[in-house]
């Protein structure tokens, strides 16, 4: 299939939440296929339990992966206000920037939940964009603080997709996507179908996941199959979330997201 589109390029990006040490295995899979990623890290327990250490974050940064922020303690940010909200987003950014010695511009909402107050706090803290959990999207036209995604590396039932879309009032997306969701026997099949659509029509194919979750469900073979399918395609642009946001938002005013419905425990 051709990946050349006069007005809409084909883009692949991946992003992974929580900063778990299984990101090291994930990074190896991605690097061997020339695939970029944005790795969103919480900072409240660096080097403790299964959370990556500061040195491991630096090594992934040096390997070319984008490190993004995911708060200090992984709260639902839409439940917070004022100083408590500001601390979660500001302290995480400062900690990561101290570790990496560079700006951290990317953010991901824990559990995908944000609102206009949260987006204002992110902008005040100096973030440039944020990824939420608007799903089944190939859009390259989105607000700075409401980056959508395409598919999650997790076996969600059809009903969860339906509930998520209906809560956000995306009835047309549900109607248009239902045949593809229902006929897909796995998240990999759904991901392949959405990628094939991107090749035909253009757009940003965005895979999200959690390396710890992939380990828990024994999903490394499925993930490898998916990565092999999208890697190394002629004419496809492989970007980090930060690069995708820069492309999408170039010359465009940004605005904050509406409240988002959680798909899964990000």
Q: Which residues pair with 129 in a beta bridge?
A: 106
**Mean pLDDT, residues 140-164:** 83
Q: For residue 229, is pLDDT > 80?
A: yes
What rounded mean pLDDT belongs to the chain? Answer: 88
Read out DSSP for 131-194? E----S---S---TT-B--SEESS---HHHHHHHHHHTT-HHHHHHHHHHHHH-SSHHHHHHHH
Residues 24-51: pLDDT tens digits? 999 999 999 999 999 999 999 999 999 9
Query: What whole-number distance in Å separates Cα of residue 73 and Cα of residue 247?
Result: 30
Residues 166-180: pLDDT tens digits? 666 666 666 666 666
Domain parsing of the chain, residue ranges: 11-249
Q: What is the pTM of this model?
A: 0.87
Query: What whole-number distance in Å separates Cα of residue 93 and Cα of residue 104?
Result: 6
Residues 77-120: pLDDT tens digits? 999 999 999 999 999 999 999 999 999 999 999 998 999 999 99
- 11-249, CATH topology level: TIM Barrel (3.20.20)
Q: What is residue 258's predicted lDDT score, i.e. its pLDDT?
A: 38
Q: For residue 1, is pLDDT > 50?
A: no
The closest of 35, 12, 13, 57 to 241, measured between CA atoms, is 13
Confidence of residue 253 (pLDDT cuts 50, 70, 90): very low
Q: What is residue 157's predicted lDDT score, i.e. its pLDDT?
A: 67
Q: What is residue 134's predicted lDDT score, i.e. its pLDDT?
A: 84
Q: What is residue 136's predicted lDDT score, i.e. its pLDDT?
A: 87
Q: Which two tokens stand for residue 58?
A: 């630096």
Query: What b/e string do you get for 130-161 counting C-beta neighbours within 10 Å, with b at 16 or more?
Result: bbbbbbbbbebebbbbbbbbbbbbbebeeeeb
**Mean pLDDT, residues 155-169:** 67
Strand (E) or helix (H) holding 127:
none
Q: Which residues pair with 13 in a beta bridge?
A: 206
Q: What is residue 257's predicted lDDT score, i.e. its pLDDT?
A: 42
Q: For residue 7, is pLDDT > 90?
A: no
Residues 47-71: pLDDT tens digits? 999 999 999 999 999 999 999 999 9
Query: What whole-number distance in Å separates Cα of residue 162 and Cα of residue 122?
Result: 29
Alpha carbon 109 to its chain centroid, in Å, reads 9
Q: 57's torsion region: left (phi>0), alpha (psi -120 to 50) or beta?
A: alpha
Q: DSSP alpha helices (H): ranges in the chain?
A: 23-31, 54-62, 82-100, 116-125, 158-167, 171-183, 187-201, 211-216, 220-230, 241-249
Spatial neighbors of 42 by CB under 8 A, at least 6 apart, are 18, 19, 51, 70, 71, 72, 73, 74, 92, 110
**When comparing pLDDT for 42 and 155, which is higher?**
42
Confidence of residue 263 (pLDDT cuts 50, 70, 90): very low
């Amino acid at each position: 299939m051709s990946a050349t589109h006069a007005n809409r390029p084909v883009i692949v990006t991946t992003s992974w939440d929580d900063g778990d040490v299984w990101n090291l295995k994930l990074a190896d899979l991605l690097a061997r296929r020339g695939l970029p990623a944005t790795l969103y890290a919480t900072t409240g327990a660096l080097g403790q339990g299964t959370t990556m250490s500061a040195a491991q974050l630096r090594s992934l940064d040096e390997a070319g992966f984008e490190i993004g922020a995911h708060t200090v303690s992984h709260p639902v940010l839409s439940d917070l206000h004022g100083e408590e909200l500001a601390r979660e987003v500001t302290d995480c950014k400062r900690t990561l920037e101290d570790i990496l010695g560079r700006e951290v511009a990317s953010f991901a909402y824990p559990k995908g939940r944000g609102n206009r107050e949260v987006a204002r706090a992110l902008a005040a803290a100096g973030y440039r964009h944020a990824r939420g959990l608007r799903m089944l999207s190939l859009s390259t036209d989105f607000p700075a603080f409401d980056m959508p995604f395409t598919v999650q590396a997790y076996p969600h039932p059809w009903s969860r997709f339906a509930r998520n879309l209906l809560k956000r009032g995306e009835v047309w997306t549900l109607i248009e996507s239902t045949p593809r969701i229902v006929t897909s026997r796995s998240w990999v099949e759904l991901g392949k179908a959405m990628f094939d659509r991107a090749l035909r029509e253009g757009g940003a194919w965005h895979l999200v996941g959690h390396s710890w979750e992939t380990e828990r469900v024994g999903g490394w073979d499925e993930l490898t199959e998916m990565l092999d399918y999208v890697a190394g395609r002629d004419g496809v642009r492989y970007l980090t979330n930060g690069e995708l946001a820069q492309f999408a938002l170039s010359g465009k005013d940004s605005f904050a997201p509406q409240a988002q419905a959680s798909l899964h425990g990000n």
